[in-house]
Amino acid sequence: MSEHIEPEYTEEDIERAGQMHSLCKQHISYQVMVKTKDGQHVEGIVTNVDKKNVHILVPQNMEPQNQSQGQSSRDERPIYGPLYRRWYPRVYPLAALTALSLLPYYPPYPPYPYPYPYPYPYPYPYY
């Protein structure tokens, strides 16, 4: 029989887990960057937080795979536009987290920065 062995955490880890729990609760549904004790940097969206774990949707890298050397090197693009990112759920223990930071969201700019009605130095010809 295999027995599930819990990792040993120090008092400092338990205290930090309490701080991370409140921080993760504030950032549910936000895209964050998480750093773990073993040095991993994980980007994702916090979906749920329970007493011991944080549930994060982690994106899969959707980079095009390189073609073999024998094939032609013509410009290959997806026919139906860019690929979409796939997101996979991951669970991380709160005691293993060392840092959590919010990733910035930049809203898109309007296509034309001109005020309406557009400035026109001459009178409109069609009245």
Percent of the chain surpassing pLDDT 90: 40
CATH number of the domain within which 90 lies: 2.30.30.100
pLDDT at 90: 94
Domain that holds residue 29: 11-61+80-102
Residue 6: inside a domain, yes or no? no
Low-confidence ranges of the chain (pLDDT < 70): 1-7, 62-83, 109-127
Residue 124: inside a domain, yes or no? no
pLDDT at 12: 86
Own/partner long-range contacts of 32-35 (Cβ < 8 Å, ≥24 apart): 32/56, 32/100, 32/101, 32/102, 32/103, 33/100, 33/101, 33/102, 33/103, 34/92, 34/97, 34/99, 34/100, 35/97, 35/98, 35/99, 35/100
Rounded to two decimals, what is the model's pTM? 0.63
Q: Work out how many domains the chain is built from and give that number.
A: 1
Q: Is the dihedral of CA 97, 48, 102, 19 positive or negative?
A: negative
Residue 114: inside a domain, yes or no? no
Residue 20: inside a domain, yes or no? yes
pLDDT at 56: 95
pLDDT at 55: 96
